[in-house]
Structure 1
């Protein structure tokens, strides 16, 4: 294995697969500095203000002249506006679907509404932060009682609490986002029963929420407020009793063979590094292509982390309005960040930079590879129900818990999460498969990582790694537990996106 790689003939940098020592000869160029693994070295002289090119795309501009062999990073690279050719729909193609008779199955939970789950949870949701503790008390009481031992088809009782629900307007974007997110999670196919707990006097009123979705209470959908029931202790007792009554009903559903086309895969990356865009992300993209060929769905998200690569997605937009909506969301984010005295290049994080990522453009070009190569079929707002198959995009922040919460609310029943630095993450009620971008972090955090995509750097093809990921998706969807599930992650990662002033 070479200690470096040049990803495109157009690139004027090389990527250090392993550390390059000062004085090492790389493509007839002597390294001027030590180049840390995952970082970039100039493969030729680069004049001031000239583009830095990686993946055959501009990832930034030289602050000053960069000599061949120099370390290329934030000390000599910056980001500025430049024209991109969005060319909507000019690179679409006909998807080659697998014949229906040859499509694969997984063992899932078929719900009455036709959706299929990969897990079977009872969720204790909250209308407001004021009822968060009570929700946790209820879930913990059930867990400690040992009641779940009698219901093997129930994966658990989870308290999904949040920090808002009051101090917000009763109309407008903040309210609508919370309302949509709560309903999306409550109706996610991985949830078999719901208990919604409120305080009683909050802005986010449970009856109004139910009315907006034309839903009423049922044996597997119950609500209560602390003030109406009569305090903390009584509400915990009532909540525990409600869940005990739900358990046999939720347990009665069993796994059955279901087509892989019923999988809705959330795509996430966090703690990315210089390897993510050449190993884990493209390998996940190859798995997405296999899923789409089976008739399944994948949700690419994190709008600030496709910034600078959006033109590659608009090329694949199946309809003009799809590409136009993605561009509109990019413009919204530019205005949103400017309004709050931030900039889109605030990302990458310090950890990303230590891992070799210099600019948001570089990070985004690698992150967008998670979406594979098929057509972009639709763009959804945060937490909107995903009702298109194939590759779709959902507008979310880049912050992983918030982004994943929106995807789960949109209907994602399984999730793949790539990481180079080693993110610790889970996402109940949706299982999260962790993909390491390099062998070092896979070995270093082997109890957290499910698949080592660092093998791509060691000679395994992206296609072969994608097939391994695809098969793992089917196994996990059928009930195999991920590392994050075994560790117990996922109870604290429910984080709805909050907009506007807190009053």
Structure 2
């Protein structure tokens, strides 16, 4: 990354150029830079350029490529003069890359020695997984029971939880799945297996408990069938509301069953565990032009360290890697993994086309205000969270991760749906970067929040856990911030609370349900 900067870092104009091929750079200064600003490379701004937005480093002819990250992120709709503001209004977005003739497991990646000797204090589970928290999760089969369960959970927290001091929390796994869903449609298994695998999340300690209405399509025996559940789970640990007389009796039944589960969880203790017990989800939301410069590359470095130490890392968001799919298929561990990546991209292309949209629907007004002109630019900054290691596996939506190492979990880019699917995949700790700022949090796993800019880290000082904005200002390197993240993940996995945990910020679970609703 090239910094074009004058002598006084605090006052001088600062623009950031990622690749020597780039013909644009982004403005780093708070508040942007006014017209007439002179940079020490001789360039002079012809108009005001907001923070995070692009400035032309040279004259760019009509239809000529606009290059950032060394890649064409668009084409000029009009002649662009050196020093002008380059934004979405003056750009045409490139066509979506095809899924044909991609490099398949061709990348030659440098060997990196394993990182040994790292442990964290976690909770060992009978299925071989490891929890970073000790939580009672109460699963539901249908949205109809959500309000009753919320009342029960509030009562458990108020009247019961203090009796079990080794349990961190009790969580309602509520969702919007209901009987209107065509339960046997081709895509119907996605939300069902999501709910099933949420109940198997390592932070829930294997203590399955379900609240059912009684008449719903998704019966407990269907929900709890398959790997990870005993047949008796469908009967022994289910409260059916329609079998009880009145609201009070429903609550009593839920609380009584919860006490049995809490007693088991209360016997658990933290103990030293290898980092192979970590399943770290990485995600970005409220992204800006700094995401791909500061936070996400640092997360990528932390990802490399985690994989070398034996952990599993999940990176996601199909639309936010789609324009860099050639980079991913090349890094696949083998031809089979490369083909699985292609299959997930093709499925999602079809899904979007069925809704009458394409990948360009991804970018938000906030992304654009933060300097991201289109999904191509956003994707190139997002994909760097995956680091540089081989991609060992692909996790279809709602399924559980099966392969250790770096995995692509195929999810939508929606923060809440992505987080829900990563939890279903087995995530026990979350790393989330943001440029615009978001109070996003999860009830089932700790979320470490990373600010892309100093200004955000300062203004949201009691919401951001790590400040990657130091990278843009030359105050720390990507590697130094990545090392800080690696150490923070271990500390958080061992019980150190994040800001989202301190404030109790917990977004609702959001199922990905592409099946028809009747």
Preserved contact between residue 185 and residue 516 of structure 2 (Cα < 8 Å): no
What are the residue-to-residue correspondences of 1:456-495 with 2, within 5 Å? 456-459=471-474, 460-490=476-506, 492-495=507-510
- What is aligned with 1:210? 224
Q: CA deviation at 1:390?
A: 1.3
The reply to whether residue 87 of structure 1 matches residue 103 of structure 2 is yes
- What is aligned with 1:155? 168
Q: Secondary structure at 2:18's aligned position in 1?
A: coil
Q: CA deviation at 1:245?
A: 1.9
Preserved contact between residue 103 and residue 260 of structure 1 (Cα < 8 Å): no
The reply to whether residue 185 of structure 1 matches residue 204 of structure 2 is no
Q: How many positions carry a matched residue from both structures?
A: 499
RMSD: 1.8
Q: Secondary structure at 2:252's aligned position in 1?
A: helix
What are the residue-to-residue correspondences of 1:55-204 with 2, within 5 Å? 55-81=69-95, 86-93=102-109, 95-98=111-114, 102-145=116-159, 147-192=160-205, 193-204=207-218
- What is aligned with 1:411? 426
Distance 2:133 2:25 in 1: 43
Q: CA deviation at 1:132?
A: 0.6
Structure 1: runs of 5+ lacking an equivalent: none
The reply to whether residue 287 of structure 1 matches residue 302 of structure 2 is yes
Q: CA deviation at 1:178?
A: 2.0
- What is aligned with 1:335? 350
Distance 2:504 2:53 in 1: 34
TM norm structure 1: 0.96
Distance 1:247 1:217 in 2: 19
1:374 aligns with one of 364, 389, 413? 389
More deviation, 383-392/279-288: 383-392
Q: Secondary structure at 2:73's aligned position in 1?
A: strand
Preserved contact between residue 220 and residue 234 of structure 2 (Cα < 8 Å): no
TM norm structure 2: 0.93
Distance 2:355 2:308 in 1: 42
Q: CA deviation at 1:231?
A: 4.1
Q: CA deviation at 1:388?
A: 0.9
Preserved contact between residue 200 and residue 225 of structure 1 (Cα < 8 Å): yes
Q: CA deviation at 1:174?
A: 4.4
Distance 1:477 1:160 in 2: 21
More deviation, 41-50/405-414: 41-50
Deviation per CA, 1:67-114: give whole Å up to 9, x if none: 111111111012131657732222242552426xx3200000001111
Distance 1:209 1:46 in 2: 57
More deviation, 229-238/68-77: 229-238
- What is aligned with 1:428? 443
- Check 1:253–1:83 CA distance in 2 against 1; reply closer, same or farther (3 A cut): closer
Q: CA deviation at 1:230?
A: 3.3
Q: CA deviation at 1:150?
A: 2.4
2:34 aligns with one of 14, 21, 34? 21
More deviation, 366-375/327-336: 327-336
Q: Secondary structure at 1:30's aligned position in 2?
A: coil
